[in-house]
Structure 1
Amino acid sequence: MKKKITLKVNGKEHEVNVDPQTPLLYVLRNNLGLKGPKFGCGLSQCGACMVLFDGKANPSCLKRVDEAAEKEITTLEGLAGEDGNLHKVQQAFIDEQAAQCGYCLNGLVMASVGLLSENSDPSDEEIQAALYRNICRCGVHPRVIKAVKKASTS
């Protein structure tokens, strides 16, 4: 049964008419056209669907849209400033070449932004702990750690 649900995504309110149990990821991609968060495992274990809920990184593939209605949701598309400049984490990922195939990139960036919002100067171990939910088969984790360190100092 569909219901009107208001979501606050990337600073704007969006009204969607969906089944309240629909995964947030599906609504973000299919109803709102946001392609940053991706479907990976569907079990909240790979990080591809990561978004920020009230500034904290969380997977969106199992989060019901009605549960997300109470949160401030930020996707990869919402990180850039109003002036069009990239978020410092996005820029650091580019500078350090911390992306390869790109499938895990959304999750790695969102987890890094979430970490830096709580800890502006994380150690390597703290960065690794914050990224534990993000699977990357290309092996860019050493460059990701460098990028997060760079973003923490900018």
Structure 2
Amino acid sequence: MVLWHPPDAPWVKLNMDGVFSTSTLEAREEGLVRGPDGGLLQAFYAPLAASSSFEAELLALIQGLEMAMDLSTHIWIELDSATLVSLLSSGHLGSADLRHHMALIWSMTSQWQVRFSHIYREGNQAADFLTGRGSRPLPLHTLIQSLRLGTWRR
């Protein structure tokens, strides 16, 4: 069984997901930041302009970082994309078409304590729940209550 675990203080944990549909060419970003008690600090989901799943993941990470940086200087980024975790951990900028996103991420994180780790999709259920919302957004208070109660499973 894969479970999500809260970070130790003073860390916050960012879980996010970027989704790209090859059939509709639409992309979305979703994510949430939770604190050491596991409580929701902030969440986001929105459409975005991306040309691939990988670019959607990068753009979702940038949005999530912007949110998390307002909350803490210690950010644990947990992703269900093992490829992206590997790229971020390597210090490389990746392919030419994505370098500007990677350079922005490195610039954003240069003054913060940041760690990257992989989590299987089953452990990333809260961010995955946001992915499943699609164009049917919940009112924020309903979303927060669902996440607190653990009722986000589809």
Q: So what's the TM-score if we normalise by structure 2?
A: 0.30
Q: By percentage of residues, which structure has more strand?
A: 2
Q: So what's the TM-score if we normalise by structure 1?
A: 0.30
Which one has more relative contact order, counting CA pairs under 8 Å at least 6 apart?
A: 2
